[in-house]
Amino acid sequence: MQLLMLRPSFAHHETTWLTTLRGLTPGSGDAPVRIVPDCNRDTPLRVLACLAAVTWHVLRCRPHVVITTGALPGVLALAAGRLLGARTIWVDSIANAEEMSASGRLAARFASHRLSQWPDVAEAEGATFAGSILNGSADPLQGPDHGPVRPDAGGLPEDLRPVPGTLARPNPPRAAGEPDAAGPQVPVPQDALPDPGSPR
């Protein structure tokens, strides 16, 4: 669900969605959706099944970029993507407001870029903060016990700033009727191909 909200940042690329939940499609547009088994640290056999499925799908679509909000299936997708030389992006769930998730820490091994949606969590983890899906989650006016950082690309390191002129975002930022709104974090590894025309 959180990854669906990030869709405008890659909507202009050819995309394949991996998810553990059926019914994701309402927010994912026309892009293909593949279902993989869910897993977590307590289900080692399912981890293996999930790893096999995720690796298979990643090998098939050979993405240039893998982006995920977790959880463990997302880490597995980053690992598979890394193996293929893809750029791998972890966006930690906004639910992890005081420390990064265990999956997020594991993802450090495989992610070429790791973001938290909370400035102080990002700082503590050596990750990047660049904004969040909830307006004002880092806004001192609305979060009295929270830090002062406003999202500001100008404050980011040079190599992490958005590249001017490449921010084609043809689609509206949010589709209504997203699935399973109250469910726990939806693990959705996501592959985006920057240049649909180029073979890889």
Partner 1 sequence: MIFATTGTQLPFPRLVRALDAWAARMPEERVVAQIGPDPGRYPHLELHATLPPDRFDALFSAARVVVAHAGIGSILAARQYDRPLILVPRRADLGEHRNDHQAATARRLGARAGLHVVWDEADLGAALASPPPPPTTGDGASLAALHAHLAGLIDGA
Where does this chain bind partner 1 (CB under 8 A)?
1-2, 5-6, 8-10, 13, 23, 26, 65, 67, 87, 89, 91, 93-99, 101, 113, 115, 117-118, 128, 130-139, 142-146, 150-153, 156, 160-163, 166-167, 169, 173, 176-185, 192, 194
Q: Quote the least distance from Cβ 59 to partner 1, whole Å.
A: 20
**Nearest to partner 1 of 44, 56 (CB atom):** 44
Report, in Å, the least distance between residue 179 CB and partner 1.
Answer: 4
Q: Report the C-alpha gap between 26 and 189 in whole angstroms.
A: 17
Please state whether beta strands 190-193 and 65-68 pair in parallel, antiparallel, or not at all (unpaired).
antiparallel
Instruction: Report the alpha-carbon angle 110-96-180, nearest 5.
Output: 95
Residue given tokens 């700082």 in the structure block: 123
Burial class for 152, CB neighbours closer than 10 Å (0-12, 13-18, 19+): exposed
Could you tell me the smallest distance in angstroms from the CB atom of residue 114 to partner 1? 11
* Residue 83 beta carbon to partner 1: minimum distance, rounded to whole angstroms: 19
